[in-house]
């Protein structure tokens, strides 16, 4: 049984990386190093009391951490955008504006890390992407995040954003191959990436992550097919659990998504 916390220590944030949105979100991630489990915990008690957000504090971030943060910001809205009840035009357009702005800013800061405008875009977008705004009126779970959690639980050296860069294109490809969610995938391809086809949108996603220096395959982390099978079973509790995405994702489906990541 899931028990929600009823109280928490007061926390303030001085933000030094634009990424998870922890400065305004209700989310936390807990890792049990003894069992290798990594699980999310979301409740309003997680939200900080205040956040000081100065984009100049991010000027000296290493490129890899900047890139990982950019991917994570995108993913917090991309997953909500690709939900099972997407019809919410206002939130759709707000989400599209956020994502395209982050994509552009990510390109800029990789070339000019002290660009204040681009850094401020990423910092504000990180907060807006994970404070609940882009999920308003939607029923969605961050299932690609769950798939990535198994990766970084298995190997803590895997940065969350880097793992998401591997999982997300495969996650979308899984649905595209089945002819599922076609209208939404077409809108994602066209409005976010300017692509004419679903396949073009998927390739544009991969190309952008590649341009940031992100890994593309599980093998880039040294993970194998055996690791993918292990993660599939851990993620679904040996097939006893499934997750309500576009279709229910059980052991077979999760196994296939990981296989597309190899």
Question: What pLDDT digit, counting tens, does each position of 215-238 carry?
Answer: 999 999 999 999 999 999 999 999
Cα separation of the two ends of the chain: 34
Quote the CA–CA distance of 224 and 118 in Å, as a whole number.
37
Helix (H, G, I), strand (E, B) or coil at 67: helix
Instruction: Quote the distance between the C-alpha of residue 161 and its chain's center.
Output: 7
What does the pLDDT read at residue 1? 62
Sequence-separated (6 or more) residues with CB below 8 Å from residue 237: none
Quote the CA–CA distance of 108 and 105 in Å, as a whole number.
5
Quote the CA–CA distance of 232 and 221 in Å, as a whole number.
17
Q: How far is CA 1 from CA 4, 32, 68, 200, 241, in A?
A: 10, 18, 33, 43, 14
What is the block-wise mean pLDDT of the chain (262 residues), using blocks of 10 residues? 82 96 89 83 89 98 98 97 83 97 99 99 97 89 94 95 98 97 96 98 99 98 98 96 93 98 98
What does the pLDDT read at residue 183? 93
Question: What pLDDT digit, counting tens, does each position of 49-63 carry?
Answer: 999 999 999 999 999
What does the pLDDT read at residue 86? 63
Sketch the domain layout of the chain as residue ranges: 62-261
What does the pLDDT read at residue 15? 97
Quote the CA–CA distance of 53 and 83 in Å, as a whole number.
30
What does the pLDDT read at residue 36? 80
What does the pLDDT read at residue 5? 84
**Beta strands at 50-53 and 12-15: parallel, antiparallel or unpaired:** parallel
CATH architecture designation of domain 62-261: Up-down Bundle (1.20)
Handedness of CA 147, 206, 140, 19 (dihedral sign): positive
Quote the CA–CA distance of 143 and 123 in Å, as a whole number.
24
What does the pLDDT read at residue 247? 92
Cβ atoms within 10 Å, residue 14: 11
Bridge partners of residue 179, in order along the sequence: none
- Which residue do the tokens 């309003």 mark? 44
Contact 156, 36 (CB under 8 A): no
């Amino acid at each position: 049984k899931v028990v929600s916390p009823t109280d928490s220590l007061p926390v303030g944030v001085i933000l030094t990386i634009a990424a998870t949105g922890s400065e305004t979100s209700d989310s936390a991630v807990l890792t049990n190093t003894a069992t290798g489990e990594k699980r999310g915990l979301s409740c309003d008690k997680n939200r900080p009391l205040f956040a000081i957000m100065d984009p100049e504090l991010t000027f000296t971030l290493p490129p890899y951490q900047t890139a990982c943060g950019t991917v994570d910001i995108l993913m917090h809205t991309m997953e909500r955008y690709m939900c099972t009840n997407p019809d919410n035009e206002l939130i759709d357009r707000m989400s599209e504006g956020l994502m395209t702005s982050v994509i552009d800013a990510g390109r800029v800061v990789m070339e000019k890390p002290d660009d204040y405008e681009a850094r401020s875009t990423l910092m504000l977008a990180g907060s807006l992407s994970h404070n609940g705004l882009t999920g308003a009126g939607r029923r969605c779970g961050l299932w690609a995040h769950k798939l990535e959690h198994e990766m970084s639980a298995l190997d803590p050296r895997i940065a969350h954003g880097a793992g998401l860069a591997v999982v997300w294109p495969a996650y979308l490809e899984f649905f595209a191959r089945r002819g599922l969610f076609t209208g939404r995938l077409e809108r994602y391809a066209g409005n976010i990436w300017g692509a004419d086809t679903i396949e073009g949108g998927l390739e544009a996603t991969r190309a952008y992550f590649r341009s940031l220096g992100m890994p593309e395959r599980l093998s880039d982390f040294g993970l194998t097919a055996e690791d993918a099978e292990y993660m599939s079973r851990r993620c679904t509790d040996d097939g006893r659990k499934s997750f309500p995405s576009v279709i229910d994702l059980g052991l077979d489906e999760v196994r296939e998504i990981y296989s597309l990541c190899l």
